[in-house]
Amino acid sequence: MTVNASQTEAGRGAAFAVYALYLLSIPSAAVFALIGVIVAYAARDGAGPLARSHLDHAIRIWWTAFWWVVGGWILVGLGFVLMIALIGFPIMWLGGLILLIILIWFTVKALLGLLALLDARAR
């Protein structure tokens, strides 16, 4: 059995752990995603080039998802306030739809990143 240099690269285990935490974030109400991004930030400096690209990618998708989730919750809150005028229902629906799309997007990006890491491809 031969071992690739990319399989023993520094930071590869951390990148794997980050993707695993991201995939487990759905049942944990995103607590594991927060832990994952903290691990990614902590392991990024000592990582090799392949692992560094994955850790940077994981950080980038977390921040993207974070700001879209903030926007989705703002829409949901605004819709809740505007329910008195009956215009709040479609606004709440739009906010919920954004949250669902981000949940699916985040999960797919984490899964594709994990598969690329296992294939020793940079992100």
Per-residue pLDDT of the chain (123 residues; tens, 9 = 90+): 444 555 677 889 999 999 999 999 988 888 999 999 999 999 999 888 999 999 999 999 999 999 999 999 999 999 999 988 888 899 999 999 999 999 999 999 999 999 999 998 988
Question: What's residue 3's pLDDT?
Answer: 45
Indicate whether 62 belongs to any domain.
yes
Indicate whether 79 belongs to any domain.
yes
Indicate whether 105 belongs to any domain.
yes
Question: What's residue 29's pLDDT?
Answer: 84
Indicate whether 1 belongs to any domain.
no
Q: DSSP letters of the chain?
A: ----TTTS-TTHHHHHHHHHHHHTTTTTTTHHHHHHHHHHHHHHTT--HHHHHHHHHHHHHHHHHHHHHHHHHHHHHHHHHGGGGT-HHHHHHHHHHHHHHHHHHHHHHHHHHHHHHHTT---
Question: What's residue 28's pLDDT?
Answer: 87
Q: How many domains does the chain have?
A: 1
Indicate whether 76 belongs to any domain.
yes
Indicate whether 3 belongs to any domain.
no
Question: What's residue 86's pLDDT?
Answer: 83
Question: What's residue 84's pLDDT?
Answer: 86
Indicate whether 74 belongs to any domain.
yes
Give the domain range for residue 88. 12-118
What pTM does this model have?
0.86
Indicate whether 46 belongs to any domain.
yes
